[in-house]
Amino acid sequence: MKILLDVMGGDNAPNAVLQGAADAVKEFGQGMTIALLGQEEVIRQAAAELNIDLTPFEIVNCTEVVTMEDDPVKAARHKPDSSLVKGLTMLKKGEGDAFVSAGSTGALHVATSLIVRTVKGVKRPALATPMPGIQQHYLLLDCGANAECRADMLNAFGTMGSVYAEKVMGRPNPSVALVNNGAEDHKGTPMYREAHQKLKANPSIRFVGNIEPRYIPEGKVDVVVCDGFVGNVVLKLTEGVATSLLGMLKPIFLKNLFTKLAYLTIKDGLRGLKKMMDSEEVGGAPLLGAARPVIKAHGSSKARGIKNAIRQAKTCVENDLCGTMEKALAETMAAVQE
């Protein structure tokens, strides 16, 4: 198995990406090769500074870099020798089994759609992120790749999310819910009402109806479906609330001797909570619907986040996620046509 890694993408590239790759090789690299895509001189210099042995890796030199300021479409079309575009081209040609990047979300989404393409039945890939919940993590999609969607797209998201929850997250017969401003079937915009009916008739999923945003964090459902605008708001609000609440707890426990002693009794639990809310633990968001596995790591990923994104890519390949998803989507389309 070969994982293609964009070394030049992300706020902390190339050092964090290289360190994450090195950690991945040590922890779960047996039977896996990682190809480092980027400016070879920069890669070797960073590896020397970090004291990383590059012997286990394959280096693919790329002369161009896609930046966050680049227009996504122009970057995908006019920077063929960038680590992002070249990596996706290699993936398309079968020169790798999965691609991981912490670079521009827009450029990755556009380039994946243009180069790797999507499985039959999917118009555009969706970003799917496992999110922390009280009972369990849940899968949220779309998280920002498609700000405007049609009802049939949300229906496809439900199928894709269900397959991912079962094959990668290990959830048998996962439940699927649609984000809405009420639990009743008639709530929401016309598009969301139509999406509800399509999801309800989808034979490939276990649709449990609408879910109001205030109930999403409970983690009672496995897959939460929405358009990319709503999903991105839910994602960023959740991250912001988690950071704020954890930050507000610190001055409370430092208030006096008694609160400090109280902290000592629950510090392990708080550490566990902080770990659960940490996006680095998840690693990245797969672009579900792409014909080959593509993982978008968080732009601010550090080494641990990159390592876990690589782990996620490896799991997708091992479980033939794309093949299974294509089969499920084909069954859904066949049922609709009957």
Residue 170 near residue 178 (C-beta atoms within 8 A): no
- What pLDDT does residue 307 have? 93
User: What does the radius of gyration of the chain's CA atoms come to, in whole angstroms?
Assistant: 21
State how far the Cα of 171 lies from the Cα of 280, in Å rounded to an integer. Answer: 21
- What pLDDT does residue 69 have? 86
Amino acid identity of residue 325, one-letter, is M
For CA atoms 304, 307, 311, 316, the dihedral sign is positive
- What pLDDT does residue 335 have? 63
Cβ burial 109-147 (10 Å sphere, 16+ → b, else e): bbbbbebbebbebbebbbbbbbbbbeeebbbbbbbbbbe
Query: What DSSP string runs through 3-63?
Result: EEEETT-STTTTHHHHHHHHHHHHHH-TT-EEEEEE-HHHHHHHHHHHT---TTSEEEE-S
Residue 159 is classified by DSSP as H
- What pLDDT does residue 102 have? 93
Question: Which of the following CATH numbers is that of domain 126-279: 3.40.720.10, 3.40.50.2020, 2.60.40.420, 3.40.718.10?
Answer: 3.40.718.10
Helix axes 151-167, 321-337, angle to 10 degrees: 140
- What pLDDT does residue 281 have? 65
- What pLDDT does residue 305 have? 92
- Sheet of 175-179, strand order: 58-61, 33-38, 2-6, 98-101, 294-297, 284-288, 126-131, 138-141, 223-225, 175-179, 206-211
Q: How far is CA 179 from CA 164, 314, 326, in A?
A: 18, 30, 24
Q: How far is CA 173 from CA 166, 167, 218, 289, in A?
A: 7, 10, 19, 20
State how far the Cα of 146 lies from the Cα of 295, in Å rounded to an integer. Answer: 16
State how far the Cα of 158 lies from the Cα of 154, in Å rounded to an integer. Answer: 6
Of 324, 335, 334, 337, the residue nearest 162 (C-alpha)? 324
User: For residue 221, how far is the Cα from the chain centroid?
Assistant: 18
Residue 283 near residue 88 (C-beta atoms within 8 A): no
Amino acid identity of residue 260, one-letter, is K
Span(s) in the chain for CATH 3.40.718.10 = 1-122+289-321, 126-279
| Domain at 1-122+289-321, CATH class | alpha beta
Of 78, 60, 57, 53, the residue nearest 8 (C-alpha)? 60
Question: Alpha helix locations (H) across the chain?
Answer: 15-28, 40-50, 72-78, 83-92, 105-111, 151-167, 190-200, 228-253, 257-277, 279-282, 303-318, 321-337
SS3 assignment, position 184: coil
Q: Which segments of the chain have a pLDDT < 70?
A: 270, 272-283, 332-333, 335-338
